[in-house]
Amino acid sequence: MVIEKARVISLSKISNNYYLIKVHSPLIAREIKPGQFCNIKVSDTDFPLLRRPFSICDVENDNLIFAFDIHGEGTKILASKKPDDILDILGPLGNGFNLEGSYELAIIIGGGIGIAPFPFLVKNLPNNVAVKCFIGGKTSEHLIKYNLKNIYTATDDGSEGFHGNVVDLFNNEIKNFLTKNFRIFACGPTQMLRSLQKIALEKNYDCQLSVECAMACGFGICQGCPIEKSNGDGYYLVCKDGPIFNADMIIV
Amino acid sequence: MVIEKARVISLSKISNNYYLIKVHSPLIAREIKPGQFCNIKVSDTDFPLLRRPFSICDVENDNLIFAFDIHGEGTKILASKKPDDILDILGPLGNGFNLEGSYELAIIIGGGIGIAPFPFLVKNLPNNVAVKCFIGGKTSEHLIKYNLKNIYTATDDGSEGFHGNVVDLFNNEIKNFLTKNFRIFACGPTQMLRSLQKIALEKNYDCQLSVECAMACGFGICQGCPIEKSNGDGYYLVCKDGPIFNADMIIV
Amino acid sequence: MEIDLTVQIGKLKLKNPILLASGTVGYGNEISQFIDLSKIGGIVTKSISLKPRKGNPPQRICETPSGMLNAIGLANVGLEAFIKEKIPFLKKLNTTIICNIAASSIEEYVECTKVLNEEESIAAFEINVSCPNVKEGGLEFGNNLDAVARITEKVKSVTNKTVIIKLSPNVSRISDFAKVVKENGGDAVSAINTLVGTSFNIWTRKPKIKNITGGLSGPAIKPIALAKVLEISRNVDIPIIGIGGIMNWKDAVEFMIVGASAVQLGTVNFINPFAALEILDGMKTYCEKMSISKISELTASYILDEH
Amino acid sequence: MEIDLTVQIGKLKLKNPILLASGTVGYGNEISQFIDLSKIGGIVTKSISLKPRKGNPPQRICETPSGMLNAIGLANVGLEAFIKEKIPFLKKLNTTIICNIAASSIEEYVECTKVLNEEESIAAFEINVSCPNVKEGGLEFGNNLDAVARITEKVKSVTNKTVIIKLSPNVSRISDFAKVVKENGGDAVSAINTLVGTSFNIWTRKPKIKNITGGLSGPAIKPIALAKVLEISRNVDIPIIGIGGIMNWKDAVEFMIVGASAVQLGTVNFINPFAALEILDGMKTYCEKMSISKISELTASYILDEH
Ligand SMILES: Cc1cc2nc3c(=O)[nH]c(=O)nc-3n(C[C@H](O)[C@H](O)[C@H](O)COP(=O)(O)OP(=O)(O)OC[C@H]3O[C@@H](n4cnc5c(N)ncnc54)[C@H](O)[C@@H]3O)c2cc1C
Ligand SMILES: Cc1cc2nc3c(=O)[nH]c(=O)nc-3n(C[C@H](O)[C@H](O)[C@H](O)COP(=O)(O)OP(=O)(O)OC[C@H]3O[C@@H](n4cnc5c(N)ncnc54)[C@H](O)[C@@H]3O)c2cc1C
Ligand SMILES: Cc1cc2nc3c(=O)[nH]c(=O)nc-3n(C[C@H](O)[C@H](O)[C@H](O)COP(=O)(O)O)c2cc1C
Ligand SMILES: Cc1cc2nc3c(=O)[nH]c(=O)nc-3n(C[C@H](O)[C@H](O)[C@H](O)COP(=O)(O)O)c2cc1C
Ligand code: FES
Ligand code: FES
């Protein structure tokens, strides 16, 4: 965990209001693992006050790549960055995905910007593991396929792929993979994670969820990011104990 | 008095930490008179909260030119503007210099960034009026001669011209002009205006001072910018009754 | 879709919930060069005192993070000049005029109200008991329940117009003050006035504001103001005018949701004199989106899943 | 030039005036990965209560203009685990440990202090009477002079270590509270804790913070905090630890000028975990520039030309 003043290399708009930002950040690039995140100060003034958390989307040598959509003030400022601007980045943070254990197939489920952590995850999967990507979005405009393969798409408006939400799509297709020993990696809106969690628990699938919540510090000192333990005994901290949790650990 | 979204045409560093910014602002350009000022929102966020007042330095057709130095957050942001950025400008504000009446010679006295209002003033003087400019600064680096002629310089460190402050320089030279019917226009640090005012009142010179003070609105609704009347009966508002006052009207 | 924007403050019916806050638009003349004041709910005049006040010496204001401090010192033309010089102009604006009164004694409040009550053009009174400069034996009226009770009762006894008491936020339980206002016949409360703050120059070690302390306003105080309005709304049944850090229509809606029947815009006028109309438009669009036909339905529409 | 950075808080001597505020650095382990805590004045632990508290459900925090709201709900490991698990680590940091205690009854304050008094590594106690969650019959201790008086007196009676009472800013006259602290034997006060605030989602009409209201911290509250510290400094002769919105060394200096003997850094730790050391360096340079040989000379060095 370090703070690095990272130089912006490029900012590109991938579609709709989704952006990719690439920054030179060797120290963090060396350390960071799939599913971890960084907490970024998007301005060098006190506005906005807090850092903004973003999952690591991809790593190219000494460069970090983040995928983001414009949500409010902070991401608006981030989207206005130009090459050679400096970003103050705190990371790597969080636990990251658990890639250990025996599974032949990685099933990725991402809703909207929720695909952000997966390009880097796919890169780091054991060689013998196959990948299927389920990607959902409001419209075809909202589907992000950056660096992903074997893609099944779902759109709420039916403008591309399955007409409906990505969890239903997954639920329809899963029968084709039941023979395989698979692990699910999912990230997206809370609603999506809830419905997926329900299925995963019923069928008790091996399933890891990347969750989001408001954060101040991102490294465990403010206790601002609780998520309820399924065992009833209090809360985990999303920034330290998460953001990746097995489906059976938490109440999304 | 209007609010105009003005496009930045150019930003140039003239010396040390002095800058010129040129913006396309036809409505204000048509209206504004020498000695008036504009209240500028330097960002499109709520930080910094208040507008920043700047004297009109020059007008070229539909363009306004402001001269400024980096003082704090607001001017730092202003100095980071790039062509095609948009500035939110409120103006013209204030009374402006009084150019009426009979005088053959305009004596300009400016300290540091205090010369800002004078290029535009000189342009607008009656043709038959001659001009002498007394310019002071900490060092030669701090002397701004932009669009000014007939210049007498003074520096605190003696690195250029008279070794001392610009008011003393003026006081030494004035004997050469006493035959003439002159009017003094001055702008600069409060200390400078005070010492000049003292002389002007003693010798009762025709003298107009451009004063500064903290402002919120710039157009008379907050009452945040008082300056004491010399007649003891309360305060003028610098933004409405000023920023230009005859030396005998106020207590600087 | 036609949205009913009118709101009721006691006997007073406003065209819409947007008011301009006292001391932030003087007597309307400058701001009226930017916006047609007949389009908004009304304007609250700069605090009027019996005699003219020249106000505090400079420096009166300074900027703070997302806020500003002011110590204007209630500079105002005084009752007489207000009636002679200001009211005639205010009338022409054909907007609702709420006259804000400040005083240093209960008698002065009563005296001012009596005189101004004769002015037909004045629709209501806002009694400023919360200005840091107004003291009674060193104690601020605004922080003293008995003083607020007496002022409300005495002022009400000399006018039939709507009386709004402007509360101080510098207290532990603002709802206790709203309660005494109600008990003593006050028609409404406005909350909040500025919070006491200061700022020092570290090189001179002197206060940036000559008066040493000033009143903090602007976005910085919005969360505090919202909590005060919500506290009143949950504890006292009295119309509330919400004030504090409103910069855009979202902020105004937020104040109505937590309990305000109308809102006042202050500091934002200094930065964006068009704010009042922009905010009004934004609120209309919001009501359409949420298919709210009467904007007054927004008031205290908060949803709290408690216990 | 060698500058004496030490400051005195009652019997407690600090290496320098920079402390980390309660609840903003947990028990020191995470932040110690960024800065060497032995270099700063000390660390104030997250409020400890007799029994563990799991804290409030999410959402616990939200950002506001130049500030943030929090309602953590005093989540903490409880007295026993604190002693068993946290103190051993804290010792290793060799920094001054100030233990912050929160409780829901006077007895609980006394009980906690008694037990923790045995821990040599604890240099002083900061008694949090000002946490919005700590109530006595619905009334906050921190807003009740008698309660603060009794807590101070009772806690002092069971320890000889320095006792600092952390005051609530949600009161009319904070100096009255500092006075009773002094009268009842308290060694110092810290000011301020967070201000009550709220924020609502205008689309769901629900509070952004599950607890409905939260505590406002960050730069937004700095002018208020400075005014509170100045008020105490001008009215009561007791050491003050200044807290509220400190982001850089200038802010820290400003707090000392208005009366603080030391300062605590809170919210800034979340944004810049190096802040404590950066601020310390900045203060040293400032002292050199101003040729101040003992940093304690800064305390209450304000210059007010009054009347
Ligand atoms: C572990 C983690 C990983 C994330 N990864 C990504 C990513 O890879 N790409 C991406 O686009 N977004 C990601 N997010 C969400 C991202 O942090 C928010 O979109 C962003 O903080 C919004 O800031 P804003 O100023 O634009 O929005 P505003 O609404 O103006 O922000 C206001 C406050 O709310 C917080 N906030 C608002 N929305 C969220 C949210 N969904 N999650 C957490 N905090 C929020 C902000 O941090 C800020 O403190 C992630 C969030 C977390 C917790
Ligand atoms: C009528 C008028 C005309 C001016 N013309 C010019 C000009 O042509 N060129 C130029 O460089 N400067 C000019 N100034 C000064 C300029 O407004 C300040 O330098 C600027 O506001 C500083 O803002 P900041 O955020 O960089 O500094 P900060 O110190 O960060 O500003 C903090 C607050 O203090 C106020 N403030 C700080 N210094 C001054 C000051 N000297 N006068 C007024 N307010 C101040 C700011 O407006 C802001 O509200 C003028 C001021 C006035 C009143
Ligand atoms: C410069 C200034 C002057 C003010 N003068 C008065 C006044 O005379 N009477 C009064 O009741 N309130 C006065 N106020 C308080 C405002 O009416 C309002 O209550 C406060 O500013 C909070 O709202 P805001 O954050 O939108 O500015 C003044 C505020 C400012 C900033
Ligand atoms: C997330 C958070 C948790 C806090 N927890 C505590 C606490 O447990 N006990 C306490 O006395 N103060 C607590 N505080 C208050 C701080 O110690 C400090 O008084 C306040 O945040 C103001 O300082 P700041 O503006 O520098 O943050 C907390 C503050 C924050 C932001
Ligand atoms: S965000 Fe601060 S503890 Fe998790
Ligand atoms: S700056 Fe507002 S009245 Fe002059």
* pLDDT, tens digit (0-9, with 9 covering 90-100), for D200-227: 999 999 999 999 999 999 999 999 999 9
Q: Among all residues of chain A, which has the CA nearest to that of B46?
A: A47
**Residue D147: how many CB atoms within 10 A of its CB?**
18
Ligand 1 center to residue D245 CA distance, Å? 23
D137 has a pLDDT exceeding 50: no
Q: Do A49 and D271 touch (CB under 8 A)?
A: yes
Q: Among all residues of chain A, which has the CA nearest to that of B49?
A: A47
Among D32, D270, D272, the strongest candidate for a mutation testing the A interface, having the largest count of A CBs within 10 A, is D270
**Residue A20 CA: which ligand is closest?**
1
Indicate if ligand 5 lies below 6 Å from the C-beta of A133: no
Name residues contacting ligand 3 (CB within 6 A). Answer: B 222, 224; C 21-24, 46-47, 70, 72, 74, 100, 128, 131, 166, 193-194, 217-218, 221, 243-246, 265-268
Query: Average pLDDT of A178-197?
Result: 96
Q: How many angstroms separate the Cα of C7 from the Cα of each of A203, C3, C256, C297, D69?
A: 55, 12, 11, 9, 31
Q: Do B235 and C75 touch (CB under 8 A)?
A: yes
Indicate if ligand 1 lies below 6 Å from the C-beta of D63: yes
pLDDT at D189: 98
pLDDT at C306: 62
Q: Do A73 and B45 touch (CB under 8 A)?
A: yes
Ligand 6 center to residue B221 CA distance, Å? 6
Chains touching C (at least 3 CB pairs under 8 A) are: B, D
pLDDT at D141: 86
Q: Contact B18/B75 with Cβ under 8 angstroms?
A: no
Q: Contact A109/A50 with Cβ under 8 angstroms?
A: no
pLDDT at D131: 67
Name residues contacting ligand 2 (CB within 6 A). Answer: B 37, 48, 50, 52-55, 66-69, 71-75, 113, 116, 212-215, 243; C 63
CB < 8 Å to D223, chain C: 64, 67, 69, 197-199, 216, 220
User: Average pLDDT of chain A?
Assistant: 96
Q: Among all residues of chain C, which has the CA nearest to that of B228?
A: C57
Q: Contact B108/B49 with Cβ under 8 angstroms?
A: no
Interface list for chain B against chain A, based on CB atoms closer than 8 Å: 45-47, 73
Ligand 1 center to residue D268 CA distance, Å? 19
The confidence band for A15, taking pLDDT boundaries of 50, 70 and 90, is confident
Pocket test for ligand 1, best of D60, D62, D63, D201 (most atoms within 8 A of CB): D63
Q: Among all residues of chain B, which has the CA nearest to that of A85?
A: B80
pLDDT at D142: 87
Q: Which residue's alpha carbon is nearest to atom 26 within ligand 1?
A: A72
Q: Provide the residue-wise pLDDT of chain B in tens; the chain has 252 residues.
A: 999 999 999 999 998 789 999 999 999 999 999 999 999 999 999 999 999 999 999 999 999 999 999 999 999 999 999 999 999 999 999 999 999 999 999 999 999 999 999 999 999 999 999 999 999 999 999 999 999 999 999 999 999 999 999 999 999 999 999 989 999 999 999 999 999 999 999 999 999 999 999 999 999 999 999 999 999 999 999 999 999 999 999 999
> pLDDT means per 10 residues in chain C (307 residues)?
93 97 95 96 96 94 98 93 95 94 93 96 94 53 93 97 96 96 98 97 98 96 98 98 98 98 98 98 97 98 83
Q: Which residue's alpha carbon is nearest to atom 11 within ligand 3?
A: C128
Q: How far is A1 from chain D (nearest CA, A)?
A: 8
Among D193, D210, D221, the strongest candidate for a mutation testing the C interface, having the largest count of C CBs within 10 A, is D221
Indicate if ligand 1 lies below 6 Å from the C-beta of A21: no
pLDDT at C135: 47
Residue of D62, D99, D112, D131 marked active site: D131
Pocket test for ligand 4, best of D44, D217, D229, D279 (most atoms within 8 A of CB): D217
Indicate if ligand 6 lies below 6 Å from the C-beta of B211: no
Quote the CA–CA distance of C54 and C56 in Å, as a whole number: 7
Q: Among all residues of chain B, which has the CA nearest to that of C218?
A: B49
At residue C128, what is the residue type? N
At residue C56, what is the residue type? N
Chains touching A (at least 3 CB pairs under 8 A) are: B, D
* pLDDT, tens digit (0-9, with 9 covering 90-100), for C241-283: 999 999 999 999 999 999 999 999 999 999 999 999 999 999 9
* pLDDT, tens digit (0-9, with 9 covering 90-100), for D244-294: 999 999 999 999 999 999 999 999 999 999 999 999 999 999 999 999 999
Q: Do D269 and A227 touch (CB under 8 A)?
A: no
Residue D23 alpha carbon, nearest atom of ligand 4: 5
CB < 8 Å to C26, chain B: 220-221, 223
CB < 8 Å to B226, chain C: 55-58, 60, 75
What is the residue-wise DSSP string for chain C? ---B--EEETTEEESSSEEEPTTSSTTSTTGGGTS-GGGSSEEEPPPB-SS-B--PPSP-EEEETTEEEE-----B-HHHHIIIIIHHHHHHT-S-EEEEE--SSHHHHHHHHHHHHT-TTEEEEEEE---TT-EETTEEGGG-HHHHHHHHHHHHTT--SEEEEE--SSSS-HHHHHHHHHHTT--EEEE--PEEEE-B-TTT-SBSSTTSEEEEESGGGHHHHHHHHHHHHHH--S-EEEES---SHHHHHHHHHTT-SEEEE-THHHH-TTHHHHHHHHHHHHHHHTT-SBGGGGTT-------
Quote the CA–CA distance of C148 and C189 in Å, as a whole number: 11
The confidence band for D132, taking pLDDT boundaries of 50, 70 and 90, is low
Which residue numbers of C are catalytic? Answer: 131
On the CB side of B208, how many CA atoms lie within 13 Å of its CA? 22
The first and second tokens of residue C29, run together, are 């003349």
Ligand 1 center to residue A53 CA distance, Å? 6
Interface list for chain A against chain B, based on CB atoms closer than 8 Å: 45-47, 73
Quote the CA–CA distance of B5 and B21 in Å, as a whole number: 15
pLDDT at A1: 94
Buried b / exposed e along C226-254 (16+ C-beta atoms within 10 A)? bbbbbbbbeebebbbbbbbbbbbbebbbb
CB < 8 Å to C303, chain D: 204-206
Ligand 2 center to residue B74 CA distance, Å? 8
Among B3, B47, B73, B221, the strongest candidate for a mutation testing the C interface, having the largest count of C CBs within 10 A, is B221
At residue A230, what is the residue type? S
Among A41, A42, A46, A47, the strongest candidate for a mutation testing the B interface, having the largest count of B CBs within 10 A, is A47
Q: Contact A137/A114 with Cβ under 8 angstroms?
A: no
Considering only CA atoms, which of B70, C219, A237 is closest in space to residue D199? C219
Ligand 4 center to residue D81 CA distance, Å? 21
Residue C44 alpha carbon, nearest atom of ligand 3: 17
Packing angle, helices D174-183 and D222-235, rounded to 10: 50
